[in-house]
Structure 1
């Protein structure tokens, strides 16, 4: 049975990934900092309370797995929504740490197990902010661009060992995290929440938000043998973003 580790897997995109991999017959392992969300996961899943940037905790979980076939380094936070001159350095560091260092820590400890097996799939959750950039989201966009750079390097470094690395770039995803972004952006721009929401939707050619299941479906494909020669790729699941600066 294939083993899959999903960081920040207790809710949102991460939980959708877990459900999708479980439906494929995989053994699902999840780490998260939200104890209440972890308690609501299916009993068949292996759940662990661990911060993605806590190297000791993450190393312990991965060592306990013993085998890891697919790593979904999904942990991330939205960070502040503000003009660059109004962003506190501590807020910048916190955002970059979770989004970038969280991916690094998971990969660092998963790679040796994958090398020993001569196979593996690494899936990093980036964002369309890592392709286009976004006004008022400097630390988040910077971190997500860096995640793509990390992925490209991993694909080259680990490819000779049979390990693939790819990045999924979700667009605006329905859910609690995006609601927080909408509210903060509305306040920063003097707009209503609904106006900002509509701006994001019309900024895509398909005129809609993404659902977590859409991202999970892509993760399952990238983790499967059907994608055995797909590596080093940046794949957007966003309804085709046309306008990275949403306006109504």
Structure 2
């Protein structure tokens, strides 16, 4: 397809699986990540840049480079995020709160801002935000992460309204618990906070969905590919859960 695709935090996890999916379609893919080793190990066909998604200066420099090299951008995915602290609200550290909102929400805004500047003159483009089912329902002991992911959905809806008249669509994917090292760390922290075993928390996550299993990164990538396609040309301003239908969010 030869579309120009940018994905933040794209050298690991969900981001890398999305990058592979777009590259497999023949798109030109560029990812950012703070993990230098992962960027150095990216597969052929995916270009990486070591970049902090929450740094205004770094993101502005990245978009300036994209404008010079590609002359525009077709698809932007705001994927960068961290889990933030796991604690009861009365124990929540303000520093951890700020850091979590900085990466998850400020990073999404900076990506959208840079993408809009390149997409508006072309009167076309797709912006995909990665939120979470925590941004739909809330999650105990995860206040900073939940607040950030709810904020991402509000940001997405506003971006969709602003940019729709310019031919640009914006949507948010809300993954459930996605198998991989990141959810392992989340489960361990939640188990410690609740006095449960990690196995019990994991089983609770799975049993709280209609499909009785955790989400895979490929499921999220498949949704991103669809949202970026012409088949989704009238889909904008939507928060789309990819979670096997979560109905119990407190294992």
Range into which the TM-score falls when normalised by the shorter chain:
over 0.9
1:68-79 alignment runs, 5 A limit? 68-79=73-84
Q: CA deviation at 1:235?
A: 0.2
Aligned to 1:34: 35
Give 1:224 deviation, angstroms.
Answer: 1.1
* Deviation (angstroms), 1:58: 1.2
Helix, strand or coil for the counterpart of 2:174?
Answer: strand
1:54 matched to 2:55: yes
Deviation at 1:59, TM superposition (A): 1.5
2:208 pairs with 195, 198, 203, which one? 203
Give the corresponding residue for 2:151.
146
Distance 2:80 2:121 in 1: 25
Query: Residue 10 of structure 1 aligns with which residue?
Result: 11
- Cα separation, 2, equivalents of 1:227 and 1:60: 31
Aligned partner of 1:231 in structure 2 is 236
Deviation larger for 70-79 or 41-50: 41-50
Hey, what's the Cα distance between the residues in 2 that align with 1:35 and 1:70?
23
* Distance in 2, Cα, partners of 1:208 & 1:73: 26
Unaligned runs of 5+ in 1: none
Q: Give the deviation of 1:82 after TM superposition.
A: 1.0
The CA distance in 1 between the partners of 2:44 and 2:57, in whole Å, is 25
Alignment match of 2:194 (pick from 186, 189, 197): 189
CA deviations 1:129-159 (Å, max 9, x no partner) are: 0000000100100100000000000000000
Partner deviation per Cα, 1:185-225 (whole Å, 9 max, x = no partner): 11111111100000000010100000101000000110111
> 1-side partners of 2:225 and 2:63: how far apart?
20
Q: What are the Cα deviations for residues 27-60 of structure 1, in whole angstroms up to 9, with x where unaligned? A: 0000010001111111322210000011121122
Report the Cα offset of residue 226 of structure 1: 1.1
Matched position secondary structure for 1:36: helix
Decide whether the 8 Å contact of 2:23 with 2:45 is kept in 1.
Answer: no
Alpha-carbon offset, residue 244 of structure 1: 1.2
Q: Deviations over 1:70-108 (max 9, x none)?
A: 000000000111111111000000001100000001111
Where do 4+ consecutive residues of structure 1 move more than 6 Å?
none
Cα distance in 2 for residues equivalent to 1:195 and 1:245:
12
Which of 178, 181, 202 pairs up with 1:176? 181
User: Alignment partner of 1:51: what SS?
Assistant: coil
Aligned to 2:110: 105
SS at match of 1:112: helix
Count, aligned residues = 246
What's the C-alpha RMSD, in Å, of the aligned pairs?
0.7
Q: 1:133 aligns with which of 113, 135, 138?
A: 138
Q: What's the offset of the Cα at 1:174?
A: 0.5
